[in-house]
Amino acid sequence: MTRLTVLPHETLCPEGKVIEATPGRSICDTLLEHHIEIEHACEKSCACTTCHVIIREGSQSLEPATEKEDDLLDKAWGLELTSRLSCQARVADEPLTIEIPKYTLNQVSESRK
C-alpha cells in the first residue's frame, strides 16, 4: 500500500485525509473509494478536467501524462506544473500528497450564468 495524503479542501475533505492506496489504482478511484467525492463529469474517460488535482509531493513516481491528458489539462482551472487528471494518474509505490483545487472548470462556468 502507498500513503496518499489529501490536503484539506473546503467542501470535499475539510480536515484533509491520509489514505492507504493500492498501487496501480487511479487517484480518482482511490479518492472515491475513501468517500472523497471528487467530481468526474466524464465518468473517468479522460474527456474533461473536473477531476484535476495538483501533486504536491511524489509527482516523480507517477507515469508521465499522455498527450491527451496534457491537452485537457491546458483547460483546467488553476493549472500548475504538477497538475494531473486524477482519473489518469495511477498510484505508484512512493507516497503522494495531493491538493484538490478549489474550483473545477464546470464550477467556474456555472458561476458565470
Helices (H), the chain: 27-33, 67-73, 105-111
* Cell, residue 81: 506544473
Q: What is the C-alpha separation between 78 and 103, in angstroms, rounded?
A: 8
Cα–Cα distance for residue pair 96/4, rounded to 1 Å? 5
Which sequence spans correspond to the domains of the chain? 2-111
Class of domain 2-111: alpha beta
Let me know: does 63 contact 26? Beta carbons within 8 Å.
no
pLDDT in single tens digits along all 113 residues of the chain: 999 999 999 999 999 999 999 999 999 999 999 999 999 999 999 999 999 999 999 999 999 999 999 999 999 989 999 999 999 999 999 999 999 999 876 644 444 44
Round to whole Å and give the CA distance between 29 and 38: 9
